[in-house]
């Protein structure tokens, strides 16, 4: 396992639609293992193949970062040839991306999705995700379609601007306060 270079905004690979994985080879499995290491080293919760220069339809995600139990928190989803089969509702999401360092954006996402994909053994699974988890899977899926979140964001700010905004909100409402995307972006857009 190794760390891979992460492609960043401006690299044309991020704007191209990926091709299906025809066979889950040892190279695909090795790429997934490297993606886990790369994602964790960069403090991400998901990473897609084009972000490491591979134009194939697969990504990995660890969307349960807030889970109390360690097993759930560390669960990795391998999504090979994923397809979002159902979307419901809408939510505003404040997003960052390993391929867009130093920026944050406000994106409309489905509140709930159903997604099917193969795992590393080629077995097909279908999952349902809501809220933050739905955002993670939609964000990574977009990478396979040649879309990065600034392409669809309603607003952008630097991470420094975001941190200042969060500090202002916490100073006003208290250190333990949590905020919706609408509250974070109020007055900015």
- What local confidence, expressed as pLDDT, does residue 110 receive? 98
Domain boundaries, the chain: 12-154
At 108 the three-state DSSP class reads: strand
The mean-pLDDT minimum among 20-34, 55-69, 140-154 falls in 55-69
Which token pair is 45? 């919760």
- What local confidence, expressed as pLDDT, does residue 64 receive? 87
Q: Label residue 63 exposed, middle or buried (CB < 10 Å: 0-12, 13-18, 19+).
A: buried
The arithmetic mean of pLDDT across residues 153-180, rounded, is 93
66 tagged catalytic: no
More confident position, 121 or 71: 121
The arithmetic mean of pLDDT across residues 5-13, rounded, is 96
Q: Which residue's entry shows tokens 């991400």?
A: 44
Position 188 pLDDT exceeds 80: no
- What local confidence, expressed as pLDDT, does residue 154 receive? 94
Position 189 pLDDT exceeds 70: no
Of 133, 140, 145, 183, catalytic:
140
How far is Cα 94 from Cα 88, in angstroms, rounded to an integer? 19
Which token pair is 89? 């509702």
The arithmetic mean of pLDDT across residues 143-156, rounded, is 97
Position 87 pLDDT exceeds 80: yes
Position 1 pLDDT exceeds 90: no
CATH class of the domain defined by 12-154: alpha beta
- Mean confidence (pLDDT) of the chain: 95
How far is Cα 4 from Cα 51, in angstroms, rounded to an integer? 9
**Could you read off the pLDDT of 58-84 as tens digits, one per residue?**
999 999 888 888 888 889 999 999 999
């Amino acid at each position: 396992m190794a760390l891979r270079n992460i492609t960043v905004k401006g690299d044309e690979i991020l704007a191209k639609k990926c091709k299906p994985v025809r066979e889950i080879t040892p190279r695909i499995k090795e790429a997934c293992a490297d993606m886990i290491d790369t994602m964790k080293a960069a403090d991400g919760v998901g990473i897609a193949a084009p972000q490491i220069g591979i134009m194939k339809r697969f990504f990995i995600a660890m969307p349960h970062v807030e889970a109390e139990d360690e097993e759930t928190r560390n669960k990795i989803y391998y999504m090979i040839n994923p397809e979002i089969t159902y979307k419901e509702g809408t939510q505003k999401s404040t997003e960052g991306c390993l391929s867009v360092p130093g920026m944050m954006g406000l994106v409309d996402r489905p509140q709930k999705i159903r997604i099917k994909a193969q795992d590393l053994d080629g077995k097909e699974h279908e999952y349902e995700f809501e809220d933050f988890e739905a955002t993670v899977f939609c964000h990574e899926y977009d990478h396979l379609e040649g879309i990065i979140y600034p392409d669809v964001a309603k607003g952008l700010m630097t991470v420094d601007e975001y941190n200042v905004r969060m500090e202002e909100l916490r100073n006003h409402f208290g250190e333990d306060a949590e905020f919706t995307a609408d509250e974070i972006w109020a007055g900015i857009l």
